[in-house]
């Protein structure tokens, strides 16, 4: 049976044709010693036999038909798992630069959309081992990626080998099934259009018996249209400000910075300030952005920020996407850390309340709207939408205990979130008693990424001091 991409996945795949809007994401994991590469390769090969997404590529649809997942008949694990050796005397900065280059490089859309690079340090290197992981957002979101990680993570350095798997690799589709697949696609599109028409006719039929439904239907249509327009950049949302005057240039270039902050201290400070870990996390990013602008005497009136809210259920599902971006605007002023926290907390609370109360995911709305447009129009709308955002944020929960990858113990796990046209993405992931921060930056927008990272570190230190 043909499996089609969901509307949101199809939207991200179409946008990939513009490198400026790439949805590439991943992580950089540092190890206390180099992994056993052959063991890691074998574990990923076995994982690909059970997780179809690792062997599937995306094939375009017919006409307005959606793209679909198909087994890559030429799948080769060595195209997706490889090893690189670091030069002597290399350090974490070298790994960050390598990772930024790997993640920024466009995907080969004729192959499955993932790549893992094992990094081995030479004698004298300050980095014994690391892994750069790159996934396209159509495969999974950040939380789904953590679920997939269970396929190659261990809870001890050298666990006893498990039973030999007897699962055979999935077979590619028989070329003779191409006609059946095409007919299935035509049927899928026809049914989708029929369902829309049937629902519309059923609604109109009720108007005679209940005149109030006409007003409700009109109000809902207007609300949906406004939501799509705001998400796609076709109109100016009432609460949105002008955003950063410094971060207006955007490009396909990428730069990566890392930093760490104590999870225990962040939790204590958030509680002391009367909020959550997400409140203090986003507040730190806003304070850092304000300090960066203040240092340059750049008069930013407000910032437009997006926080990624997970909509994933706790049913053990693997991979896939379940998220909703929550955009909000923060006015810039001279404030104490506690006041910054209160302002950001209130702004986020209002938007999150609205999002949770709504029965409509704006990502799905935007995706359904875009499914009727050519790729050129989709990328144009994507650029317009991204231009309204200064940066995106996301907070992921990692392992609270030590974990290992093919013999190497994980010391740090830095997430790398997709920019998708914004100036930067800040994603934090908890690991044991630390929060590891990945600051993925467009250097054409933020010309001094290291300086922004230092402002982040200072902002979280100030917030912790204010809340403890």
Structural domains of the chain in order of their starting residue, each with its CATH number: 3-158 (3.30.559.10), 191-232 (no CATH), 255-396+416-467 (3.30.559.30)
Query: Would you say 269 and 279 are in contact if contact means Cβ atoms under 8 Å apart?
Result: no
**Interatomic CA distance for residues 247 and 375, integer angstroms:** 26
Task: Kindly write down the DSSP assignment for every residue of 145-200, as one continuous string.
Answer: HHHHHTTT-BSSSSPPP-PPP-PPPPPPPPGGGHHHHHHHHHHHHHHHHHHHHHHH
**Which of left, alpha, beta for 300 (phi over 0: left; psi -120 to 50: alpha)?**
beta
pLDDT at position 34 over 90: yes
pLDDT at position 230 over 50: no
pLDDT at position 347 over 80: yes
pLDDT digits (tens, 9 = 90+) for 205-215: 555 555 565 55
Residue 246: pLDDT band (50, 70, 90) is: very high
- Radius of gyration, CA atoms only, the chain: 23
Which contacts of 350-355 are long-range, i.e. CB under 8 A and separated by 24 or more positions? 351/307, 351/326, 351/327, 352/307, 352/309, 352/326, 355/309, 355/324, 355/326
**Interatomic CA distance for residues 329 and 144, integer angstroms:** 28
Query: Taking the CB of residue 368, how many other CB atoms lie within 10 A of it?
Result: 17
Query: What is the mean pLDDT of the segment spanning 150-169?
Result: 81
pLDDT reported for residue 67: 84
Query: Would you say 343 and 330 are in contact if contact means Cβ atoms under 8 Å apart?
Result: yes
Mean pLDDT, the chain, rounded, equals 80
Q: What is the DSSP secondary structure assignment for residue 445, as one 8-state letter?
A: T
Cα maximum dimension of the chain: 81
HSE, side-chain direction, 13 A CA sphere, residue 32: 9
Residue 18: pLDDT band (50, 70, 90) is: confident
Query: Would you say 132 and 30 are in contact if contact means Cβ atoms under 8 Å apart?
Result: no
pLDDT digits (tens, 9 = 90+) for 403-435: 999 999 999 999 999 888 899 999 999 999 999
pLDDT digits (tens, 9 = 90+) for 262-315: 999 999 999 999 999 999 999 999 999 999 999 999 989 999 999 887 654 555
pLDDT at position 219 over 70: no
Which residue has 């100036």 as its token pair? Answer: 423
Cα distances (angstroms) measured from residue 122 to each of 81, 83, 91? 20, 13, 11
Q: What are phi and psi of 426, to 5 degrees?
A: -115, 115
Nearest to 386 by CA among 445, 320, 312, 466: 445
pLDDT at position 321 over 50: no
pLDDT reported for residue 314: 52
Query: Taking the CB of residue 383, how many other CB atoms lie within 10 A of it?
Result: 17
Nearest to 16 by CA among 101, 102, 139, 136: 136
pLDDT at position 91 over 80: yes
Tally helices (H) and strands (E) across the chain: 12, 15
């Amino acid at each position: 049976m043909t499996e089609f991409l969901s509307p949101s996945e199809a939207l991200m795949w179409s946008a990939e044709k513009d490198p400026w809007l790439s949805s590439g994401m991943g992580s950089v994991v540092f190890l206390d010693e180099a992994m056993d590469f052959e063991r890691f390769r074998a574990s990923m090969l076995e994982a690909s036999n059970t997780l179809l997404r690792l062997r599937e590529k995306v094939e375009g649809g017919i006409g307005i038909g959606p793209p679909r997942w198909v087994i890559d008949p030429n799948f080769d694990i060595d195209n997706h798992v490889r090893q690189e050796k670091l030069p002597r005397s290399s350090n974490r900065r070298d790994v960050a630069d390598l990772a930024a280059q790997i993640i920024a490089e466009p995907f080969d859309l004729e192959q499955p959309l993932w790549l893992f690079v094992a990094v081995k340090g030479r004698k004298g290197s300050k980095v014994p081992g690391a892994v750069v992981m790159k996934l396209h957002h159509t495969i999974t979101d950040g939380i789904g990626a953590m679920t997939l990680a269970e396929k190659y993570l261990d809870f001890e350095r050298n666990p006893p080998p498990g039973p030999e798997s007897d699962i055979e690799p999935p077979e590619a589709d028989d070329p003779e099934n191409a006609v059946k697949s095409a007919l299935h696609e035509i049927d899928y599109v026809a049914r989708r259009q029929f369902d829309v028409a049937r629902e519309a006719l059923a609604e109109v039929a009720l108007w005679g018996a209940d005149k109030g439904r006409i007003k409700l239907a009109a109000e809902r249509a207007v609300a949906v249209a406004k939501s799509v327009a705001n998400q796609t950049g076709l109109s100016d949302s009432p609460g949105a400000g002008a955003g950063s005057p410094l971060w207006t240039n955007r490009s396909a270039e990428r730069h990566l910075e890392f930093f760490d902050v104590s999870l225990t201290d962040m939790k204590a400070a958030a509680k002391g300030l009367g909020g959550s870990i997400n409140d203090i996390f986003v507040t730190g990013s806003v304070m850092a952005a304000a300090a960066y602008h203040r240092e340059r005497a750049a008069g930013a009136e407000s910032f437009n920020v997006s926080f990624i809210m997970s909509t994933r259920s706790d049913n053990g599902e693997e991979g896939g996407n379940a998220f909703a971006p929550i955009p909000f605007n923060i006015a810039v002023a001279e404030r104490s850390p506690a006041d910054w926290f209160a302002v950001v907390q209130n702004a986020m609370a209002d938007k999150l309340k609205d999002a949770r109360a709504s029965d409509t995911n704006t990502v799905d709305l935007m995706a359904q709207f875009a499914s009727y447009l050519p790729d050129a129009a989709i990328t144009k709308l994507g650029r317009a939408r991204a231009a309204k955002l200064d940066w995106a944020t996301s907070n992921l929960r990692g392992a609270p205990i030590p974990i290992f990858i093919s013999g190497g113990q994980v010391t740090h796990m830095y997430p790398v979130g997709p920019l998708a046209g914004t100036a930067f993405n800040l994603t934090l992931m908890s690991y044991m008693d630390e929060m590891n921060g990945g600051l993925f930056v467009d250097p054409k927008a933020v010309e001094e990424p290291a300086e922004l990272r230092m402002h982040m570190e200072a902002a979280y230190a100030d917030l912790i001091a204010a809340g403890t």
